[in-house]
Amino acid sequence: MLKAIILIGGPLKGTRFRPLSLDIPKPLFPVAGLPIIQHHIEACVRVPDLKEIILLGYYPSSDLMKFVQEMIQEYKIAIRYLQEYTALGTAGGMYHFRDQIRCGNPTAFFVINGDVCGDFPLLEMCEYYGEKDALVVVAGTEATRNQSVNYGCIISDKNTGEILHYVEKPSTFVSTLVNCGVYLCSLDIFQILAAVFKKKEEERVYDLASSNNDSTTIQLEQDVLRPLAGTGKAFVYQSKNWWSQLKPAGSTIYANRHFLQLYRKRHPERLRGVGIQEGNVKQIPKIIDDVFIHPTAFIHHTAVLGPNVSIGANAHIGPGVRIRESIILSGANISNHSLVMYSVVGRNSKIGAWSRVEGTPCDPNPNKPFAKMDNLPLFNSNGKLNPSITILGCSVSVPAEVILLNSIVLPYKELSRSFKNEIIL
20-79: contacts with ligand GDD (CB under 6 A): 56-58
Contacted by 174, from ligand GTP, ligand GDD, none: CB < 5 to 8 Å by type:
ligand GTP
Sign, CA dihedral 185-14-395-352, equals negative
CB-wise, 170 or 352, nearer to ligand GTP? 170
Q: Are strands 423-424 and 408-409 parallel, antiparallel or unpaired?
A: parallel
CB-wise, 53 or 228, nearer to ligand GTP? 228
Binding-site member from 19, 33, 152, 312 for ligand GDD (CB under 6 A): 152
Question: Taking a C-beta distance cutoff of 8 angstroms, is the pair 419, 46 a contact?
Answer: no
* Binding of residue 251 to ligand GDD (CB under 6 A): no
**Closest residue by Cα to residue 13 from 64, 95, 82, 87:** 87
Phi, psi for 110 (deg, rounded to 5): -80, 150
Q: Nearest approach, Cβ of 28 to ligand GDD (angstroms)?
A: 13
Candidates 7-15, 265-273, 313-321, 333-341 — which segment interacts with ligand GDD by CB under 6 A?
7-15
382: CB partners within 8 A, 6+ apart: none
Q: Nearest approach, Cβ of 36 to ligand GDD (angstroms)?
A: 10
Q: Is the peptide bond before 106 cis (omega within 30 degrees of 0)?
A: no
Question: Taking a C-beta distance cutoff of 8 angstroms, is the pair 395, 348 a contact?
Answer: yes
Contacted by 249, from ligand GTP, ligand GDD, none: CB < 5 to 8 Å by type:
none
Strand pairing partners for 57? Answer: 9, 83
**Closest residue by Cα to residue 183 from 232, 236, 141:** 236
Rounded to whole angstroms, the Cα distance separating 411 from 12 reads: 19
**Closest residue by Cα to residue 363 from 279, 270, 248:** 248
CB-wise, 83 or 219, nearer to ligand GTP? 219
Tell me the per-residue interface mask from 139 to 178 with ligand GTP, x by CB under 6 A, - otherwise. Answer: ----------------------------x--xxx-x----
Q: Nearest approach, Cβ of 87 to ligand GDD (angstroms)?
A: 3
Q: Nearest approach, Cβ of 342 to ligand GDD (angstroms)?
A: 23
Give Cα 182 to chain centroid, integer Å: 12
Contacted by 93, from ligand GTP, ligand GDD, none: CB < 5 to 8 Å by type:
ligand GDD
Q: Are strands 152-156 and 163-168 parallel, antiparallel or unpaired?
A: antiparallel
| E strand or H helix at 42 | helix 36-45
Q: Nearest approach, Cβ of 177 to ligand GTP (angstroms)?
A: 14
CB-wise, 94 or 351, nearer to ligand GDD? 94
Contacted by 171, from ligand GTP, ligand GDD, none: CB < 5 to 8 Å by type:
ligand GTP
User: Applying CB under 6 A, which residues contact ligand GDD?
Assistant: 7-9, 13, 56-58, 84, 87-90, 93, 113-116, 151-152, 168, 178-181, 221, 245
Binding stretches for ligand GTP (CB under 6 A): 167, 170-172, 174
